[in-house]
Every structure is written in C-alpha cells, then in structure tokens.
Chain A
Amino acid sequence: MGTGEPVSAHFSAVEITEAIRGLDATEFVRLRRIARFLARFSTISPDDLVQEACCRVMEETRLCPREMQLVPFLAGVMRSMVSDAAKALARHPERSLDVLAAKGRDRSDDTMTAEEVLIALEDEEVLIARAASAKRQVLGLFDDDVVAQIIAEGIMEGLEGEDLRALTELDKTAFASKRKLIRRRITKAFPESAKS
C-alpha cells in the first residue's frame, strides 16, 4: 500500500462493466428471476429492467460500493426503478420520461411525443388503481390460507424477521415454506408486464 492513487470506494464504469459481464450463469438466472418477479408490479418488461439497471451502474449514475455484492446491488437498482417509476407517475406524470426512457433506451433524444404524454397520463391513473387492486389481489390469493395471509399482510405492514415469524408461531422451516408459497402464488397470479 502507499503507492499509486487511492482506491475509490466505488467501482469505476470499466470495473463494474467487467464485473457484470463476469457473473456466472447461475447469477444471470437469478437476475432474470428477480426481474421477472419485479416486472409483475411494473409497466417495464423484465429485460428492460435488467438493461436499464446495468446502464445506470455502467454509466455510474448509480455507484456500486466495492464491499457490495453485485447481484443484490443490481436487484436493489431494479427494485427502486419499479418503485420510483410508480411513485413518479402517481405524483408527477411528467416524470414518466424515466419509464419511457427505460422502455426505449435506444432513442437518441429524450423528448416525448404527444402520444407518449397521453400514454403517461393514462398510466398514472392505471398505476394508482393497480397498486390498490394489486394489494387486494395479493391478500385475496391467501383466502384459503390464513397463516400465509397473515405473513403477506405483516410484510406489507412493515414487520420483519423474528417479529413476523412470531406472529405466525411457525418454526423457521415452516415459515420459509410459507414465504416460498407466497412468492409462487404471486408469480402465478400476476402476469409479467411484457413477455421477454
């Protein structure tokens, strides 16, 4: 140590690009599964989610700390994209540019056509209604399984870890199985926003 320039706390654009390219096949599968899951709550397709998340880190719009694992970091970027896009549309329809940019990244300019503005405005109401309806639908998926319903509702209310498990009185294995069941039912019940 002590020679050369100090190492940055974040990966550079070149480093992160190589690191993403160097992920193994299992991690690629994991990324796609996460994207497929998140796309169920978004108007963005799974592949567009992955591509936009990668672009944000490769362009250093989102800086990845060196101590952070790459796949969880990319998952976090995708998660905030889905969440931010929905919030932005609900509060400021004009910010739906983000969503449109994510949909068509190849476009050379950032201008919206009149048609796109209309679509964005329609999307706003659609997304607000979609959140309320999605929440109802999710809970409705477990009408036949009170414990799963309690877990899903608990998660939505912000309960975590042991607090959540204590609510159900399940052991760790049974609790993990219920969470898996919740994810599978959601995956089955909600279509992806666009097939990829």
Chain B
Amino acid sequence: MTANRKDDREALDRLMSVMVDDLLNMPEEELIAETLSEGHNPTEEAEAIRAVIEQAARACGQSRLKAAKNAVAAGRAKQNQNVVRLDASAARQRLAAILAQNVDSGVSLAARNQSQLSDADVFGMLADLKELGIALEKKTPESES
C-alpha cells in the first residue's frame, strides 16, 4: 500500500518533469500564444513575477543584513570576553609594573610620570602598549632567582 502510494507520487513527479521540460523548450511565440489562450495577459504575467522577484530580493537582502549584524555582534561579544576589565587604580598599578619591567624599552619619560596622567591616558597607554606587544611578564621562579 505504502509502495503504491509512493509510486503514485513518483509517477506524477515524472509527468511533472516532462511537462516542465516542454515548457522550458517552448519557443517564445508559442509561449505567448498559450499564455493568451489560457486567458492570461503576458505583460501582466511578467510584471507579477517581477514583483515577486523584487519581494524575494528584498527579503533575502534583509536576511543577509540581519546575519551580518549578528556576526558583528557575535564578534564584539567574543572580543569583550577577552578584555580584562580594570579599575583606574589597578590600571595604574599595571602600567607601573609594565614600565618597571621595560626600563630600556624606549617608553618615554613623560609616560613614566604617571601622577600627571589622567585615567583615560592610563587606559590609552595600556592599550597602546598591548598593541606594541609590550605586556606584563608573569614572574617565574627562574626569573626571580
């Protein structure tokens, strides 16, 4: 019974395919003539499909935009996970420690005079140092000896 039901569907699928192939291969004049003979206006038919296609393009454009926004948001969220949040005082301590470890690194004297730096300057310097690849080295038993 199930097999017969499946066969019926497949038989119809085959018929559908052959009939669609005939429509695909039909010369333009015949296509227009058949459209008219079925009571459809070819110009209106074309315009209707143009509208459907524009609707599809808009829907897909919006969906691509949404996906892009989600990807950016996901990227930012991931980036934020990697950022260590410091308060101003901890940031100053960290900057002082990095500078102490990198006396010969060429960091300017002004930068070393932290008391004259605003909190924003301190955070900015930490970011700049990170970009330069200068970070606080973790002390190991060997480095301490």
Give B contacts to A, CB under 8 Å: 4-6, 8-9, 11-20, 22-24, 26, 28, 31-32, 34-35, 38, 42-43, 45-50, 52-57, 59-61, 63-64
Contacts and interface: CB of A to CB of B under 8 A. Distances in A.
Given A28-B49, A29-B46, A155-B15, A75 B59 contact: no
Contacts of B14: 155-158
B12 A131 contact: yes
A184 B24 CA distance: 15
A50 B53 contact: yes
Q: Size range of the interface on A?
A: 35 or more
Contacts, number: 143
Given A71-B24, A157-B11, A33 B35 contact: yes
Given A28-B49, A58-B57, A33 B9 contact: no
Interface of B is mostly: helix
Given A30-B31, A54-B52, A41 B12 contact: yes
Contacts of B8: 131-132, 134-135
Given A37-B23, A83-B13, A55 B56 contact: yes
Interface of A: 13, 17, 20-21, 25-26, 28-34, 37-38, 41, 47, 50-52, 54-55, 58-59, 71-72, 75, 79, 82-83, 86-87, 90, 105-106, 128, 131-132, 134-135, 138, 152, 155-158, 160, 179-180, 182-184, 186-187, 196
